[in-house]
Structure 1
Amino acid sequence: MNAIKYDVIIIGGGPIGLACGLEAQKANLSYLILEKGCLVNSLYNYPANMTFFSTSERLEIGDIPFVSNNAKPTRNEALEYYRRVAIHKKLNIKLFEAVLSVKSTTNKTYEIVTKKRAYEATHVVIASGFYDIPQKLGVKGEDLSKVTHYYKDPHFYAFQKVLVVGANNSAVDAALETWRKGADVTMVIRGEEIGERVKYWAKPDIENRIKEGSIKAFFKSEIAEITDNEVIVKTPEGLVTLENDWVISMTGYQPNLDFLRKIGIKLSEDEIMKPQYDENSMETNLKNIYLAGVICGGMNTHSLFIENSRVHAERIIQKIMANVE
């Protein structure tokens, strides 16, 4: 089967991938967005009741207004907004089509192979985010079915003994919401306190629940082992064994940097493993392959957000159009 040809292939159907598609559309370039999951898959995997820290206008793409009930929109409002953008602008996007490889061809283009078919493009934009690979605990029992690295809805955990690992927004949301649905909640936190990045309306809430003893917390602690009915926690005072039904491990996620390596994109040799790219054009060390969104930060996944990554789409298409002209 012959490869379908485009000017631009965009890998990743999150908000920044959609923004790249909008800019390509505006420039009259033929383009295709490839997403391995559902539309804005990372946002879909956020907790069901999540509220963004950003205001709605900072999440807008393509100059399309985002109207929400409150200044800070919810996950569901964001899903509705990006879906309506895709519909209204008739974005060319294929969902549930994971990219397997990107290879250069003899005619100065790239072959993009997915699990369904092959494509060919002069330019490739990688906007694949970082929500697909959880940071593992690396302990015995982590693969038990009672352990999850994604938290969705609190009702499931009602009246259960729940252990939440982590101290940032996702962990705090999971702890507070499951506790309010009647769960017996314990937090295990590696540091000495709740994370500094926790949303300002949630931080005093979780701190007060811990202080009053409604939610138990072990600071400067980590999980040593997980069993079917218990969790063993390593604390400053020694090992503590807790009865347990479910473990919600909110220890963060990481981008698929191995995918970048396989393509040939260079990464920094430090622990950040930041990809090499030009800040002005977003072009990597590979000609006509660009990065957009949070993946530009490597393992520093908290340096880039939707609101400060939207400009990447404009930079990339400007660079492409400059080459065309």
Structure 2
Amino acid sequence: MTVPDLRTARLRLRGLEPTDTEAIVRVFADPDTSRFLAADLSDPDQCRASVERRLAYTGPDGTGHWVVERDGVVIGLAHLRPSAELSGDLVEIGYFLDPAHGGQGLATEAAAALLRHAFTALGLPAVWALVHESNVASRKLVRRLGFTDVGGGEHYGGPHRVLVALPTALGQWHHVELWVPDLARAEESFGWLLTELGWQEHQRRRDGVSWKLGVGYLVVQQSPALTGATHDRRAPGLNHLALHAGPPERVDQLADAALAHGWRPLFADRYPHTGGPDHHAAYLENADGFEIELVAESPRVTRPG
């Protein structure tokens, strides 16, 4: 389990280490830092026990606990981890800042860095926050970061608001357009496969058709401006498209069924680990030389109890 370093204009977020224990005790020395928590972490013994529990974390790679540093000094603690309060595999954000460093936007800066990591590096579909009803400052902070209040309940021993942040479309792909020599042939292979993966037909015109999933869409078009009749995936340009395809058994099913829909297998002698021993995927090529990689989900990591 690795926790990456995250940098902002003023802060460094790095993985929590045993040698940080006394610095964290100082962060929580002011009772205000933990007044919305079930435990009083201004008590050094309770704080040290909390740090030990955080150090024992064994959750999914890329999640865990960070110390927040400014100019080499530990001024806070933050986490991004599967929620122990919300059901399902929901990832929750948390942040604590030494009150001596409050009022400068540093908690917002640290939390924003964790959100970027969650959506860009980890590809999470959502990040959740549980904020005590009386914690007005934190409720304002999460709203500044784009969280939406979706309800409330008893969590961590008190009344909390439940809030969620979703990825924005900024920086995500809008569409990909493939020029093909034969529209009907491309539609047979791409249309079948994309539909099997949950895409829906988006737009259709005389010389092209597109399928959409989420914010982006894929176009295949037989353009009158096409200057060639073949696609060479080994030449400069597009090599292949790679798509998430569910658990390994679903990838196996699609790889078999694809043979009846204009696809042929690539690297069949190394299937399903062509990309390495920990990468389960099917590589397919259609009649026009376009390659698709169907990538299986990695095994789930059991979240800590």
TM value normalised by structure 1: 0.24
Of the two structures, which has the highest relative contact order with CA contacts closer than 8 Å and spacing of 6 or more? 1
TM value normalised by structure 2: 0.25
Which of 1 and 2 has greater Rg? 2
